[in-house]
Amino acid sequence: MPDYGQCAVRKLPEVEEAKALMIEAVDWSVFRWLFEKRRVRETADQANAALDKLNQAVKARWSSDFKAAYKALAAKAGGARTRRQGEPASQAIDPQVRLFAKKVKEADDAAYQARMAAEEAFDEAERQLNTDMAREGCQKAIQSWELHERAIRLAEAAHGSSKAAT
């Protein structure tokens, strides 16, 4: 039986820098937001890109069964039902692998939804020049990164991942 214990995700400097900036930005005035909004967006984009890159690297190490189980869930969510030649049929995949793939997919979906909520909050704050909304966007961005880190830790624990990211 595979062991699906949690592994440690390394602290990504881009994410740590973005979190620190968001914590600082909570106390900014409207004028400071006007002058710093580009830096905030760029820093957030760099954090998201670093997390996306790590997520892809982790999933690249998955076993073919785990990849197939995850792809089947993603295809089902997207309405597609295709299987490429050489991929295991979903019935042949261990039910525990399918269950764990479902947990990873749910964690990924939660992180994505949080990321979109943060981006929407920043967009609306910019349109209205509203610092309260910008502060809310900062909190939502931090939450989205924490959810993404949790999802990556879960993905690292998947059977077939050769080692945790260090």
In-domain check, residue 73: yes
In-domain check, residue 2: no
Q: Answer whether residue 99 shows pLDDT above 90.
A: yes
In-domain check, residue 92: yes
Question: What's the pLDDT band for 76 if we cut at 50, 70, 90?
Answer: confident
- pLDDT value, residue 1: 37
In-domain check, residue 65: yes
Look at 83 and 155; give whichever has higher pLDDT: 155
Amino acid at 21: L
Rounded CA gap, 5 and 90, in Å?
Answer: 23
Question: What's the pLDDT band for 9 if we cut at 50, 70, 90?
Answer: low
Span 135-142, average pLDDT: 96
Residue 18 tokens, joined? 């973005």
In-domain check, residue 138: yes
In-domain check, residue 5: no
Rounded CA gap, 13 and 15, in Å?
Answer: 5
- Tell me which residue of 17, 37, 46, 21 sits closest to 131, measured CA to CA: 37
In-domain check, residue 162: no
Q: How many domains would you assign to the chain?
A: 1
In-domain check, residue 123: yes
- What whole-number percentage of the chain has pLDDT above 70? 81
Strand, helix or coil at 119?
helix
Contact, 132 vs 35, CB < 8 A? no
- Tell me which residue of 76, 74, 44 sits closest to 59, measured CA to CA: 74
Give the least confident one: 3-7, 38-42, 99-103: 3-7
- pLDDT value, residue 5: 42
Amino acid at 130: N
Dihedral (Cα; 148, 146, 47, 52), 10-degree rounding: -10
- Tell me which residue of 135, 163, 76 sits closest to 143, measured CA to CA: 135
Q: Answer whether residue 23 shows pLDDT above 50.
A: yes
Q: Which domain holds residue 132?
A: 13-80+87-156
